[in-house]
Amino acid sequence: MSARYDELKGLKNLGQKYAYSDREVMLYAYGIGLGADPMDEKELAFVNEGTLTPRPLKVVPTFASVAAWGAGPGEMNLNRVMVVDGERDITFHQPLPVAASITADSSVVEVYDKGKDKGVVIAHQTVLKNEKGEKLATLVASRFARGDGGFGGPSLTQPDPHEIPSRSPDTTIDITTRPDQALVYRLCGDRNPLHSDPEFAKKAGFPRPILHGMCTYGITCRGVLQTYADYDASAFRQHVARFSSPVYPGETVTMDLWKDGNTISFEAKVDARGVTVIKNGKTVLG
């Protein structure tokens, strides 16, 4: 067995401590575009706790992706310039509280070495737990390190992605992003200058800063919330998506959705550029 494979596969970091408040919950919701219409009571429930008529603040399910921002299994020593997000898969064990002290247990699930000059895919998971030790959410992330393959790992095949139905979408919606959306979303934790610094973005090969992939991921959660979940965050059991192309802040994201029982399939695109930005999406409601 490859020593490099064993090194990566053995990475583990348990008991990482984090805390968040309603401020972070509301900031995330606003960062993915909820509250754009300040008179929409259903969306306000995620960004405003109410005053004259108090109401419980709701937590967007995919807030789990930033609740323990920075948690991970350890240093992977990858060529970071060549690393891109591949997929996110969050399983929700119970609704996230509005404020909490939590722990994060992170470990590498599997390493898929595609070969020399083909890169490696590393899947790692983070389990979020409350103060009682109960699971809140399990996050599985796949990162594609394009410059780090060919170290002799085992010949493994990645699981097949969720298959989108062949019929026409049951629902199609447009979600408009704001020109400044990446500047807001970065305050949730991801300060990568690719999303905020025009000069840096150009050096990376983009004409201007791009929206965070995880912001687009949150937008797809918002899309399911407003269509098939009736803004009930507690209905979410799983939310999965594969990243295929970036969104530029200010663009309109078009979501195609298919409903089969409790399973919602989805893809997202930017029609103005003719690109698909999210593939093989799946939400399980319950």
Confidence at residue 55, expressed as pLDDT on a 0 to 100 scale: 87
Torsion angle of alpha carbons 232, 217, 111, 205, nearest 10°?
A: -170
* CA dist., res. 240 & res. 93, Å (int): 15
* CA dist., res. 175 & res. 40, Å (int): 15
Residue tagged active-site, from 105, 113, 148, 190: 190
Q: State the Rg of the chain over Cα.
A: 19
* CA dist., res. 21 & res. 37, Å (int): 24
pTM of the entire predicted model: 0.94
pLDDT tens for 135-150 read 999 999 999 888 888 8
Confidence at residue 54, expressed as pLDDT on a 0 to 100 scale: 86
Separation in Å, CA 29 to CA 13, 44, 111: 28, 10, 33
Is a pLDDT exceeding 60 seen at residue 1? Answer: no
The token pair that represents 84 in the structure block: 């891109």
Reported as a pLDDT band with limits 50, 70 and 90, residue 83 is confident
Reported as a pLDDT band with limits 50, 70 and 90, residue 229 is very high
Mean pLDDT within 62-86: 90
Mean pLDDT within 206-210: 96
Confidence at residue 211, expressed as pLDDT on a 0 to 100 scale: 97
Q: What are the backbone dihedrals phi and psi of residue 62, each rounded to the nearest 5 degrees, phi first?
A: -75, 5
Domains and CATH numbers, the chain: 1-159 (3.10.129.10), 171-285 (3.10.129.10)
Confidence at residue 68, expressed as pLDDT on a 0 to 100 scale: 98
Residue tagged active-site, from 105, 148, 195, 212: 195
Q: Give the full edge-to-edge strand order of the sheet including 252-260.
A: 12-20, 100-113, 120-129, 135-145, 83-92, 236-243, 275-285, 263-270, 252-260, 171-176
Confidence at residue 148, expressed as pLDDT on a 0 to 100 scale: 85
Q: Is 89 annotated as catalytic?
A: no
Residue 110 CB: number of other CB atoms within 10 A? 18
Give the residue with greater pLDDT, 155 vs 170. 170
Cβ-contact 31, 181 below 8 angstroms? yes
Q: Is 190 annotated as catalytic?
A: yes
Mean pLDDT within 233-242: 98
Average pLDDT, the chain: 95
